[in-house]
């Protein structure tokens, strides 16, 4: 496992082609593209990236993850 913090992201949605891409810029000065997402997947991923901190990306197994947060923190 190689968890790296996500520093920033860029979102692209092709209206005609109905697919999306998200580019993650990582703390280790690399980037990773998540491609071909459905509208529901894009919505969930952008919501996660927009509203949670910190976000980490595993460059080996490829999941995005948050840190543990207390229940009911009221965000």
Residue 47 backbone phi and psi in degrees, to 5: -60, -45
**Rounded-to-integer distance, Cα 42 and Cα 19, Å:** 9
pTM of the complete model: 0.82
Which residue carries 């996500």 as its tokens? Answer: 6
pLDDT tens, 26-69? Answer: 999 999 998 877 889 999 999 999 998 899 999 888 888 988 77
Distances (CA, A) of 52 to 10, 19, 45, 55: 16, 24, 11, 7
* Pair 11, 37: CB distance under 8 Å: no
Residue 71: strand, helix, or coil: coil
């Amino acid at each position: 496992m190689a968890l790296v913090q996500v520093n920033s992201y860029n979102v692209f949605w092709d209206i005609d082609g109905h697919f999306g891409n998200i580019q993650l810029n990582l703390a280790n000065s690399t980037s990773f593209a998540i491609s071909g997402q459905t509208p529901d997947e894009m919505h969930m991923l952008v919501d996660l990236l927009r509203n949670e901190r910190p976000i980490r990306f595993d460059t080996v197994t490829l999941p995005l993850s948050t840190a543990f947060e207390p229940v009911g923190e009221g965000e």
